Amino acid sequence: MADTTIVFFGIRMEVSAGYVEALETRSHPALVNARHGGLERYWGSFGSAPGERYLQFIGKCLAKIGVEKSGEVQVTAEQIVQVAAEVKTRLVKAGFSCEPCLYIQLEPDF
């Protein structure tokens, strides 16, 4: 896998290494709640050893940009407003209280 940049609207949570297996088996409580709420999920290692940093995103993935992915993305203001409203409603229904944001996060390939 080559470096990838994730463009995601929703919430982002750090995950300790002890919970990686729960993410891999899709049994992590946040992922279960997100799935039941109709939200998209993405998680991965966003750092290198020994300082690995596991992050999970819950909401709506707008794009994955990189050499092995799309080279660009275009999102209109109308689409952003629509996604923001939909994600915020679904997050609340799924039991999340965090304010959603637009995240543009590099996922390096080490």
pLDDT for res 50: 64
For the chain, count helices (H), then strands (E): 3, 4
User: How far is residue 37's CA from residue 96's CA, in Å, rounded to a whole number?
Assistant: 10
For 60-86, the three-class secondary structure string (H helix, E strand, C coil) is: EEEEEEECCCECCCCCCHHHHHHHHHH
Tokens of 70: 């799309």
Evaluate if residue 110 carries a pLDDT over 80. no
Percent of the chain whose pLDDT exceeds 90: 56
pLDDT for res 89: 96
- Please identify which residue in the block is written with the tokens 């995601």: 8
Quick: pLDDT tens for 45-91: 887 666 678 899 999 999 999 877 778 889 999 999 999 999 999 99
> What mean pLDDT comes out for the span 95-103?
94
Confidence of residue 40 (pLDDT cuts 50, 70, 90): very high
The predicted model scores a pTM of 0.88
Percent of the chain whose pLDDT exceeds 70: 95
> What mean pLDDT comes out for the span 88-101?
95
